């Protein structure tokens, strides 16, 4: 028991001895004071900073640069060139050709088309039309389907079907 009383008294003395009334001083590093600067030098510095703060005029020169608002990918429709000495049906693009009438008998169907030069032709399945050499694949009661083989943007040749519809309200 004596040992326990002795240990508790030692701990109590250590706790009371650690508490002191004087505040603990923390040593702070001393800051050196700067040498006084002349007033003229300060004025020169403020003039320099005011010049740098004023907005400078900037003019954009677009010459030799692309328009930043346009797409980077260009889609351009190339018009096929007219072939010299080609038949009239192969001298115009399919967008310029109009379908006027469709007639059929028991074996075959016929379509009457109008070219931009105001000449009309009667065509059947297998006829060649347009600048790209499209063939008439189908003639039905109200439309004709023309298949062309064109190059896509990668250079691959793919089929393109164009449908010319018969409009009932036309002249």
Mean pLDDT per 10-residue section of the chain, whose length is 171 residues: 85 68 62 56 59 69 85 69 76 90 91 92 92 91 92 88 80 46
pTM over 0.95: no
- The pLDDT value given to residue 171: 46
- The pLDDT value given to residue 34: 57
- The pLDDT value given to residue 146: 95
The DSSP secondary-structure symbol of 100 reads E
d(CA 44, CA 58): 26
Fold of 88-165: SH3 type barrels. (2.30.30)
- The pLDDT value given to residue 27: 64
The DSSP secondary-structure symbol of 139 reads E
Write the CA distances from 48 to 17, 42, 77, 111, integer angstroms.
62, 10, 58, 84
The DSSP secondary-structure symbol of 96 reads G
Instruction: List the chain domain ranges.
Output: 88-165
d(CA 115, CA 120): 6
The DSSP secondary-structure symbol of 34 reads P
d(CA 91, CA 83): 7
Closest CA to 147 of 157, 99, 155: 157
């Amino acid at each position: 028991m004596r040992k326990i009383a002795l240990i508790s008294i030692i701990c109590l003395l250590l706790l009371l001895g650690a508490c002191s009334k004087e505040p603990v001083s923390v040593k702070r590093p001393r800051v050196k004071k700067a040498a006084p600067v002349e007033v003229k030098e300060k004025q020169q510095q403020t003039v320099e900073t005011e010049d740098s703060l004023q907005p400078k005029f900037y003019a954009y020169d677009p010459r030799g640069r692309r328009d930043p608002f346009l797409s980077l990918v260009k889609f351009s429709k190339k018009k096929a060139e007219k072939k010299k000495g080609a038949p009239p049906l192969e001298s115009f693009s399919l967008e310029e050709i109009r379908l006027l009438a469709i007639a059929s008998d028991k074996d075959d169907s016929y379509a009457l088309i109008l070219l931009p030069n105001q000449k009309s032709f009667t065509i059947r399945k297998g006829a060649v039309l347009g600048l790209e050499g499209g063939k008439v694949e189908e003639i039905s009661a109200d439309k004709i389907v023309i298949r062309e083989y064109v190059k896509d943007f990668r250079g691959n040749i793919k089929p393109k079907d164009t449908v010319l519809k018969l409009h009932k309200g036309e002249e």
